[in-house]
Amino acid sequence: MTPSVITLTTDFGHGDTFVGIMKGVILNINRDAVIVDLNHEVAPHDVRGGAFSILTGYCYFPCGTIHVVVVDPGVGTTRRPIFVKTADYIFIGPDNGVISWVMADNAPYTVHEIKNEDFMLDEISSTFHGRDIFSPTAARLSLMGESGDWEIIGPRVMDPILIPFPESKDTGFEILGEIIHVDRFGNLTTSIRPNVEAEYVDVVIGDRYRVKLEGLSRSYEDGEGKDLIMLVGSSGFLEIAKRGGSAERVAGAKVGEEVKILYRGVGGG
Protein backbone atom coordinates (compact mmCIF):
# COMPACT_ATOMS: atom_id res chain seq x y z
CA MET A 1 0.00 0.00 0.00
CA THR A 2 1.38 3.42 -0.99
CA PRO A 3 2.00 5.58 2.09
CA SER A 4 -0.45 8.43 2.48
CA VAL A 5 0.82 11.96 1.89
CA ILE A 6 -0.31 14.69 4.29
CA THR A 7 0.78 18.30 3.83
CA LEU A 8 0.75 21.00 6.49
CA THR A 9 0.23 24.72 5.91
CA THR A 10 0.06 26.98 8.97
CA ASP A 11 0.88 30.39 10.39
CA PHE A 12 2.74 28.74 13.29
CA GLY A 13 6.29 29.56 12.20
CA HIS A 14 9.19 27.46 13.48
CA GLY A 15 9.86 29.03 16.87
CA ASP A 16 7.47 26.81 18.82
CA THR A 17 6.58 23.14 19.05
CA PHE A 18 3.16 23.42 17.35
CA VAL A 19 4.18 21.94 13.99
CA GLY A 20 6.17 19.10 15.52
CA ILE A 21 3.29 18.19 17.80
CA MET A 22 0.89 18.01 14.84
CA LYS A 23 3.29 15.61 13.13
CA GLY A 24 3.52 13.50 16.27
CA VAL A 25 -0.27 13.21 16.46
CA ILE A 26 -0.41 12.09 12.82
CA LEU A 27 2.35 9.52 13.23
CA ASN A 28 0.77 8.08 16.37
CA ILE A 29 -2.26 7.20 14.23
CA ASN A 30 -0.57 6.39 10.91
CA ARG A 31 3.14 5.70 11.29
CA ASP A 32 3.50 5.24 7.54
CA ALA A 33 2.20 8.70 6.66
CA VAL A 34 4.49 10.90 4.59
CA ILE A 35 4.25 14.41 6.07
CA VAL A 36 5.30 17.39 3.98
CA ASP A 37 5.70 20.93 5.29
CA LEU A 38 4.20 23.13 2.60
CA ASN A 39 4.38 26.48 4.39
CA HIS A 40 4.55 27.45 8.06
CA GLU A 41 5.46 31.08 7.42
CA VAL A 42 2.01 32.39 6.56
CA ALA A 43 1.68 35.71 8.37
CA PRO A 44 -0.16 35.32 11.71
CA HIS A 45 -3.95 35.22 11.23
CA ASP A 46 -3.57 35.90 7.49
CA VAL A 47 -6.41 33.79 6.10
CA ARG A 48 -5.92 35.09 2.55
CA GLY A 49 -2.21 34.33 2.78
CA GLY A 50 -3.02 30.76 3.73
CA ALA A 51 -5.52 30.57 0.89
CA PHE A 52 -2.83 31.70 -1.56
CA SER A 53 -0.29 29.20 -0.24
CA ILE A 54 -2.52 26.17 -0.65
CA LEU A 55 -3.91 27.40 -3.99
CA THR A 56 -0.44 27.61 -5.52
CA GLY A 57 0.95 24.44 -3.93
CA TYR A 58 -1.65 21.68 -3.73
CA CYS A 59 -1.53 20.50 -7.35
CA TYR A 60 2.11 19.39 -7.21
CA PHE A 61 1.22 16.47 -4.95
CA PRO A 62 -0.09 13.05 -5.99
CA CYS A 63 -3.79 12.34 -6.16
CA GLY A 64 -5.12 11.29 -2.78
CA THR A 65 -2.95 13.77 -0.86
CA ILE A 66 -4.57 15.25 2.25
CA HIS A 67 -3.84 18.96 2.69
CA VAL A 68 -4.19 20.37 6.21
CA VAL A 69 -4.44 24.17 6.38
CA VAL A 70 -4.44 25.78 9.82
CA VAL A 71 -4.67 29.56 9.76
CA ASP A 72 -7.31 29.88 12.39
CA PRO A 73 -7.80 33.16 14.26
CA GLY A 74 -11.29 31.95 15.24
CA VAL A 75 -10.11 28.79 17.01
CA GLY A 76 -12.31 28.03 20.00
CA THR A 77 -15.29 29.98 18.65
CA THR A 78 -18.38 28.67 16.88
CA ARG A 79 -16.58 28.43 13.52
CA ARG A 80 -16.76 24.89 12.14
CA PRO A 81 -13.88 22.50 11.51
CA ILE A 82 -14.39 21.08 8.01
CA PHE A 83 -12.94 18.80 5.40
CA VAL A 84 -13.44 19.19 1.66
CA LYS A 85 -13.46 16.17 -0.65
CA THR A 86 -12.69 16.77 -4.33
CA ALA A 87 -12.06 14.35 -7.16
CA ASP A 88 -8.33 14.20 -6.39
CA TYR A 89 -7.63 15.66 -2.95
CA ILE A 90 -8.88 16.21 0.58
CA PHE A 91 -8.51 19.60 2.30
CA ILE A 92 -8.90 19.99 6.05
CA GLY A 93 -9.09 23.21 8.05
CA PRO A 94 -11.30 25.80 9.70
CA ASP A 95 -14.42 27.07 7.96
CA ASN A 96 -13.15 30.62 7.64
CA GLY A 97 -12.42 30.84 3.91
CA VAL A 98 -8.82 29.64 4.05
CA ILE A 99 -9.71 26.66 1.83
CA SER A 100 -12.16 28.53 -0.39
CA TRP A 101 -9.79 29.56 -3.20
CA VAL A 102 -8.65 25.99 -3.67
CA MET A 103 -12.26 24.79 -3.48
CA ALA A 104 -13.15 27.01 -6.43
CA ASP A 105 -10.18 25.52 -8.29
CA ASN A 106 -11.41 21.95 -7.62
CA ALA A 107 -15.17 22.01 -8.22
CA PRO A 108 -17.20 19.92 -7.85
CA TYR A 109 -16.55 19.15 -4.21
CA THR A 110 -18.35 18.16 -1.03
CA VAL A 111 -17.86 19.80 2.35
CA HIS A 112 -18.40 18.06 5.68
CA GLU A 113 -18.21 19.37 9.21
CA ILE A 114 -15.87 17.36 11.42
CA LYS A 115 -18.19 16.24 14.21
CA ASN A 116 -17.34 12.61 14.97
CA GLU A 117 -15.26 12.63 18.15
CA ASP A 118 -13.69 9.29 17.14
CA PHE A 119 -11.66 11.27 14.58
CA MET A 120 -10.34 13.70 17.22
CA LEU A 121 -8.10 13.42 20.25
CA ASP A 122 -9.76 12.50 23.51
CA GLU A 123 -9.35 15.99 24.97
CA ILE A 124 -10.13 19.03 22.82
CA SER A 125 -8.57 22.34 23.83
CA SER A 126 -10.07 25.65 22.78
CA THR A 127 -6.75 26.96 21.46
CA PHE A 128 -5.05 24.19 19.42
CA HIS A 129 -7.42 22.48 17.00
CA GLY A 130 -4.48 21.84 14.69
CA ARG A 131 -3.37 19.23 17.23
CA ASP A 132 -6.71 18.07 18.60
CA ILE A 133 -8.99 17.99 15.53
CA PHE A 134 -7.29 18.64 12.19
CA SER A 135 -4.21 16.41 12.58
CA PRO A 136 -6.00 13.31 13.93
CA THR A 137 -8.75 13.70 11.35
CA ALA A 138 -6.14 13.84 8.57
CA ALA A 139 -4.39 10.77 9.91
CA ARG A 140 -7.59 8.75 10.24
CA LEU A 141 -8.79 9.81 6.80
CA SER A 142 -5.46 8.64 5.41
CA LEU A 143 -6.27 5.14 6.67
CA MET A 144 -9.76 5.07 5.14
CA GLY A 145 -8.77 5.01 1.48
CA GLU A 146 -10.73 6.37 -1.45
CA SER A 147 -13.82 4.30 -0.62
CA GLY A 148 -14.30 5.89 2.79
CA ASP A 149 -17.71 6.62 4.24
CA TRP A 150 -17.34 10.37 4.56
CA GLU A 151 -20.76 10.80 6.16
CA ILE A 152 -19.57 9.15 9.38
CA ILE A 153 -17.20 12.06 10.01
CA GLY A 154 -19.91 14.68 10.03
CA PRO A 155 -22.85 16.20 8.18
CA ARG A 156 -22.67 17.92 4.84
CA VAL A 157 -22.05 21.67 4.93
CA MET A 158 -24.07 23.55 2.33
CA ASP A 159 -22.98 27.06 3.30
CA PRO A 160 -19.19 27.08 3.80
CA ILE A 161 -17.50 30.43 4.29
CA LEU A 162 -16.17 31.57 0.92
CA ILE A 163 -13.70 34.36 0.27
CA PRO A 164 -14.07 35.39 -3.39
CA PHE A 165 -10.82 35.31 -5.33
CA PRO A 166 -10.04 38.84 -6.61
CA GLU A 167 -10.33 38.00 -10.29
CA SER A 168 -8.80 40.52 -12.66
CA LYS A 169 -10.90 42.44 -15.20
CA ASP A 170 -9.84 43.45 -18.70
CA THR A 171 -11.74 46.53 -19.92
CA GLY A 172 -10.05 46.64 -23.31
CA PHE A 173 -7.69 49.48 -22.44
CA GLU A 174 -6.62 48.40 -18.95
CA ILE A 175 -6.49 45.31 -16.75
CA LEU A 176 -7.57 45.71 -13.14
CA GLY A 177 -6.34 43.41 -10.40
CA GLU A 178 -4.73 43.53 -6.98
CA ILE A 179 -1.66 42.40 -5.11
CA ILE A 180 -2.43 39.03 -3.53
CA HIS A 181 1.00 38.06 -2.18
CA VAL A 182 4.38 39.57 -1.36
CA ASP A 183 7.20 37.04 -1.08
CA ARG A 184 10.33 37.33 1.06
CA PHE A 185 12.23 38.91 -1.85
CA GLY A 186 9.69 41.72 -2.17
CA ASN A 187 8.20 40.42 -5.43
CA LEU A 188 4.55 41.42 -5.84
CA THR A 189 2.24 38.67 -7.04
CA THR A 190 -0.90 40.06 -8.64
CA SER A 191 -4.27 38.44 -9.32
CA ILE A 192 -3.72 39.02 -13.06
CA ARG A 193 -3.19 36.07 -15.38
CA PRO A 194 -0.47 36.37 -18.04
CA ASN A 195 -2.69 37.64 -20.87
CA VAL A 196 -0.90 40.94 -21.47
CA GLU A 197 -0.02 41.08 -25.15
CA ALA A 198 0.83 44.77 -25.59
CA GLU A 199 4.49 45.58 -26.16
CA TYR A 200 4.39 48.74 -24.03
CA VAL A 201 2.30 49.17 -20.89
CA ASP A 202 2.06 51.39 -17.83
CA VAL A 203 1.66 49.74 -14.42
CA VAL A 204 -0.06 51.67 -11.64
CA ILE A 205 0.07 50.37 -8.06
CA GLY A 206 -2.39 51.93 -5.65
CA ASP A 207 -2.67 55.65 -6.15
CA ARG A 208 1.03 56.45 -5.64
CA TYR A 209 3.30 54.54 -8.01
CA ARG A 210 3.37 54.39 -11.82
CA VAL A 211 6.01 52.88 -14.06
CA LYS A 212 6.36 52.44 -17.83
CA LEU A 213 7.31 48.92 -18.93
CA GLU A 214 8.27 47.33 -22.21
CA GLY A 215 5.97 44.32 -21.93
CA LEU A 216 6.92 41.17 -20.01
CA SER A 217 10.41 40.21 -18.87
CA ARG A 218 11.56 36.61 -18.90
CA SER A 219 13.53 36.44 -15.65
CA TYR A 220 14.34 38.33 -12.47
CA GLU A 221 17.72 39.25 -13.97
CA ASP A 222 16.11 41.41 -16.64
CA GLY A 223 15.58 45.10 -16.17
CA GLU A 224 19.07 46.45 -15.53
CA GLY A 225 18.82 50.12 -14.67
CA LYS A 226 15.02 50.03 -14.47
CA ASP A 227 12.82 50.57 -11.45
CA LEU A 228 10.60 47.52 -11.88
CA ILE A 229 9.88 44.69 -14.28
CA MET A 230 6.84 42.49 -14.85
CA LEU A 231 7.01 38.75 -15.53
CA VAL A 232 5.04 35.53 -15.20
CA GLY A 233 5.80 34.08 -11.78
CA SER A 234 5.96 30.41 -10.85
CA SER A 235 2.43 30.69 -9.38
CA GLY A 236 1.03 31.40 -12.85
CA PHE A 237 0.14 35.01 -12.06
CA LEU A 238 1.87 38.18 -13.15
CA GLU A 239 4.54 39.41 -10.77
CA ILE A 240 6.09 42.84 -10.40
CA ALA A 241 9.74 42.61 -9.39
CA LYS A 242 12.96 44.57 -8.99
CA ARG A 243 16.23 43.16 -10.26
CA GLY A 244 18.42 42.54 -7.23
CA GLY A 245 16.00 44.39 -4.97
CA SER A 246 12.49 44.67 -3.57
CA ALA A 247 9.53 45.81 -5.64
CA GLU A 248 7.59 46.06 -2.39
CA ARG A 249 10.03 48.66 -1.13
CA VAL A 250 10.31 50.56 -4.42
CA ALA A 251 6.55 50.88 -4.87
CA GLY A 252 5.62 51.10 -1.20
CA ALA A 253 3.10 48.35 -1.98
CA LYS A 254 1.12 45.99 0.21
CA VAL A 255 -1.28 43.07 -0.18
CA GLY A 256 -4.76 44.16 -1.21
CA GLU A 257 -3.68 47.23 -3.15
CA GLU A 258 -5.12 47.73 -6.63
CA VAL A 259 -2.93 47.13 -9.66
CA LYS A 260 -3.72 48.55 -13.09
CA ILE A 261 -2.02 47.58 -16.32
CA LEU A 262 -2.76 50.25 -18.92
CA TYR A 263 -2.14 49.65 -22.58
CA ARG A 264 -0.04 52.62 -23.55
CA GLY A 265 -1.68 54.77 -26.19
CA VAL A 266 -5.14 53.24 -25.68
CA GLY A 267 -6.63 55.46 -23.02
CA GLY A 268 -3.70 54.93 -20.71
CA GLY A 269 -1.29 57.68 -21.68
143 and 175 in a single domain? The answer is no
181 within a domain of the structure (yes/no): yes
Question: Among 117, 152, 187, which residue terminates a domain?
Answer: 152
pLDDT at 1: 52
pLDDT at 237: 95
- Distances, alpha carbon 158 to alpha carbons 84, 107, 180, in Å: 12, 14, 27
Residues 6+ positions from 112 with CB-CB distance below 8 Å: 82, 83, 84, 85, 150, 151, 153, 154, 155, 156, 157
147 within a domain of the structure (yes/no): yes
144 and 180 in a single domain? The answer is no
Per-residue pLDDT of 74-92, as tens digits, reads: 999 999 999 999 999 999 9
Rounded CA separation 43/45 (Å): 6
Domain that holds residue 212: 169-263
Rounded CA separation 87/107 (Å): 8
73 within a domain of the structure (yes/no): yes
Q: How many CB atoms lie within 10 A of CB 10?
A: 24
Rounded CA separation 251/227 (Å): 9
DSSP 8-state assignment for residue 64: T
Share of the chain above pLDDT 70, in %: 95
Question: 178-182, 187-191, 192-196, 221-225: which has the minimum mean pLDDT?
Answer: 221-225
Nearest one of 59, 62, 61, 102 to 83, comparing CA atoms: 102
> Is 144 or 95 the better-scoring residue by pLDDT?
95
Per-residue pLDDT of 35-82, as tens digits, reads: 999 999 999 999 999 999 999 999 999 999 999 999 999 999 999 999
Regarding pTM above 0.85, the answer is yes
